[in-house]
Amino acid sequence: MNILLLGSGGRECAIAWKLAQSPECSRLFIAPGNAGSRAYGTNVSLPLTDFGAIKAFCLAEEIGLLFPGGEDTLVAGIWDFFKNDPELQHIIVAGPSKDGAQLEGSKAFSKKFMQRHDIPTAAYHEFDESNFEEGLVYLEQHTTPIVLKADGLAAGKGVVITSDIEEAKSVFAAMIKESRFGDAGKKVVVEQFLTGVEVSVFALSDGRNYVLLPEAKDYKRVGEGDTGPNTGGMGAVSPVPFAQGAFMEKVEERIVKPTVAGLAAEGIVYQGFIFFGLINVDGEPFVIEYNCRMGDPETEVVMPRLENDLVALIRDMDAGRLHEVTVQHSDKAACTVMLVSQGYPDDYAKGKVMSGLETTEGSLLFHAGTTLKEEEVLTSGGRVLAITSYGAGLKEALAQSYLNAEKINFEGKQYRRDIGYEF
């Protein structure tokens, strides 16, 4: 079948790599893709906000599967657009309905959903213009650190954690009164700070049943030792040593099953990936956030460790028969190290010539912010390239990625040299 994958990051490059291996994949298109994704399919230029243009492309190219990589199109309702159109209804959409995407699209929605279904998460309160003054009083009495979250999508920048109550109040005011995060921040969730190690767990749900994909740990801070500002992710590892046995049983019983069952009970159509951003608090899992798509850079280690055919899995999801499927996770470990541009996650330079890509060995290079100009690969984003390697264990995998990280060059190249340091 012909497939259209939406997105241009390292995540989409890894998904394209995986989809292209399927005997069921005839033609693969990536919109817009990057300099790396063209090794697995055809990059096409399509405005992702223009569902009409996506429709026209799908009809012209006889697309059978639409795979939205990121959250924006899902939260904007691409599933509903396809399923309400007689000409597009037959196309499988690997992602939830607009209502289902609210798990990511609205922190207030997801917190209430977890409360309704008794899913462990940090205690919280919700504020907006109508109870703004009450919110200021609430913050004064709050234990520190305080976690403030803009309700809507804020490209990973909508969470502020501070131990300074005055700063919390000023961020709170900026979010609600000055629209610091646009409409996304007009509603604010204030939550209890949880201490523990984070892990990303991924399920593919068919609306009633689910399968778990390999778990991963993402390194979000820009600096070594988990210091400096949050980024989209500087690297990832899989497996995560503590996410096994009794801990994962708790994750499934207390979090994954009630989430899938809760969506079904509420009549919310959800056939797609659920990303559980969890924190392990003394052996007890809590949900920090839900996402309605795969993670980036987690996908760059999850896809390499997934042994099943991804197209077949998505077909089984569409047919509602995931209870008949066994997912095989590779025994090998995988890691990814992200090369980023100087200045990232703040302003960064673009258009730097990349060299040495062809000199690497023993790693998968998943391009993120790269573009092609007259056969030269140029940087075009903050996160530039994910270097993924396998190993018998994480140490071996990491050594291979770091070897290749040295061989690739572009002006201002940065990366964390301590990915997987705790394991």
For ligand GLY, the binding residues in 117-176 under the rule CB under 6 A are none
Contact string 263-302 vs ligand GLY (x = CB under 6 A): ----------------------------x---xx-x----
Smallest CA-to-CA distance from 75 within 105, 107, 109 is with 105
* Unique residue bearing structure tokens 């994909």: 213
For ligand GLY, the binding residues in 230-249 under the rule CB under 6 A are 233
- Per CB under 6 A, the list member of 193, 247, 402, 423 interacting with ligand AMP is 193
- Per CB under 6 A, the list member of 74, 103, 147, 310 interacting with ligand AMP is 147
Q: Does 289 bind ligand AMP (CB under 6 A)?
A: yes
* Unique residue bearing structure tokens 């007890």: 284
DSSP 68-111: E-SHHHHHTTHHHHHHT-TTTTTSEESS--HHHHHHHH-HHHHH
| Helix, strand or coil, per DSSP, at residue 65 | strand
Nearer to ligand AMP, 81 or 138 (CB): 138
- Per CB under 6 A, the list member of 99, 191, 215, 218 interacting with ligand GLY is 218
Question: CA-CA distance, 60 to 87, in Å (whole number)?
Answer: 12
Q: Does 104 bind ligand GLY (CB under 6 A)?
A: no
Q: Write out the H or E segment, with its range, that includes residue 166.
A: helix 165-177
Question: Shortest gap between Cβ of 327 and ligand GLY (angstroms)?
Answer: 20
| Residue 402 contact partner, candidates ligand AMP, ligand GLY, none, CB within 5 to 8 A by sort of partner | none
Total count of residues recorded for the chain:
423
Residues 6+ apart with CB under 8 A from 217: 197, 198, 199, 200, 236, 237, 238, 240, 420
- Per CB under 6 A, the list member of 126, 198, 224, 396 interacting with ligand AMP is 198
Q: Do 226 and 219 touch, CB atoms closer than 8 A?
A: yes
Nearer to ligand GLY, 229 or 283 (CB): 229
Question: Shortest gap between Cβ of 237 and ligand GLY (angstroms)?
Answer: 12
Question: CA-CA distance, 217 to 364, in Å (whole number)?
Answer: 18
Q: Please report, as ranges, the residues that interact with ligand GLY according to CB under 6 A.
A: 218, 233, 291, 295-296, 298
Q: Please report, as ranges, the residues that interact with ligand AMP according to CB under 6 A.
A: 122, 147, 149, 159, 191, 193-194, 198, 220, 277, 288-289
